[in-house]
Amino acid sequence: MKNIGVISDTHGVLRPEALKALRGVDLIIHAGDVGRSDILDVLRQIAPVFAVRGNTDHEEWAQALPLTERVQVDQHLIYVLHDVQQLGLTPEVHGMAAVISGHTHKPAVENRRGVLYLNPGSAGPRRFHLPVSVAFIRVHARRLEPKIVELKVADK
């Protein structure tokens, strides 16, 4: 069984609470709006990282990030993009087990037509009254088990 850490919308802020939560995962998916290239470097010290470019990732380093990514974990194919509204394919037709996105800063887990849709929320600056959070996916032979974890952070 593998454990995937999912993070998004760091916007240049990599909180120690997020790093602590992600320790021990087998791989990390960052769903965009990274903010600074060194955030990915720090995450790579924990586990291999798959990251996509978000709508605020305009710097030169971010141009190397793809807009979408397909991540194969055992027999499960996961599609990653920043804004799910930009999804240009039908995941179940393309054999996707999951779609991971960010952008809204609002954590969400949903199952649509047998496909897991996961938004980990924002692990960076708090937006409005939304929680600061990350997510995890436990990979089983026949299913993906998502979990959103709200981080206890000191800021308002």
Any domain includes 156 = no
Report the CATH number at residue 43. 3.60.21.10
| Residue 94: inside a domain | yes
123 part of a folded domain:
yes
Q: Edge to edge, what strands does the sheet with 68-73 contain?
A: 68-73, 76-81, 98-100, 115-119, 108-112
Count of domains in the chain? 1
> Residue 21 falls within a domain, yes or no?
yes
pLDDT in tens, the chain (156 residues): 899 999 999 999 999 999 999 999 999 999 999 999 999 999 999 999 999 999 999 999 999 999 999 999 999 999 999 999 999 999 999 999 999 999 999 999 999 999 999 999 999 999 888 999 999 999 999 899 999 999 999 875
For residue 56, the enclosing domain spans 2-150
> What span, in angstroms and rounded, lies between the C-alpha atoms of 27 and 16?
18
pTM, full prediction? 0.96
